[in-house]
Amino acid sequence: MKIVINILLILISAALAYLIALNIKEPISFSKALEKREGAVVKQLVKIRTAQDIYKKITGEYASNFDTLKQVLQSEQIELYKIIGNLDDENAKTEIETLYTAASDSMRSLNISIDSLDYVPFGDEGAKYSIAADTLTYQNTLVNVVEVGIPYDKFMGKYANDRYRKYDQFYNPSNVLKFGDLYSPNTAGNWKK
């Protein structure tokens, strides 16, 4: 009988040790996954913001969908300015020369693939960034605004659950990771770093 009790206590101890290890491992795994996935999505949002800035330089407004954004970036040219002369010398003659280059070349030099702009890293199958552009009157001036984002639950995989809030007080799988704002002329991102 003593042997049975000892074996039973060993099994209970092993089960408790497993549960303790699981409770330690889960928050670490969640934190690593959040950092990795959020970082990849932020990196892609920065690329989209750059693409939107180039699109705006070409058209004067922001793109309201990815098809239009891609089409313009692949087919249009962007205006560049070259300053000839020495700006530091007030006696020197300076000229400004206007040059044109393909927007696609600018995107390539920035290491941004136009074809994969709407790709959501770690995204669920068919996950797409929401994209919207509009104009609004801000301080008596008509301005262009843009907002692009994706909810955490679309790229967090198995961690897209409210129960993981206990490991990060700011985590909410229904929050949207985004840049821009349709209600103010702002293209800042809402990410931490």
DSSP state letters, 88-132? T-TTS--EEEEEEEEHHHHHHHTT--GGGTT--TTPPTT---EEE
Segments making up each domain of the chain, as ranges? 31-180
- pLDDT tens-place values along the chain, 193 residues long: 788 777 877 878 777 777 776 677 888 899 999 999 999 999 999 999 999 999 999 999 999 999 999 999 999 999 888 888 776 777 777 788 888 889 999 899 999 999 999 999 998 888 899 999 999 998 889 999 999 999 999 999 999 999 999 888 889 999 999 999 999 999 999 997 6
Q: What predicted TM-score, i.e. pTM, was given to this entire model? A: 0.83
What amino acid is encoded at 146 in this protein?
V
What is the C-alpha separation between 56 and 62, in angstroms, rounded? 5
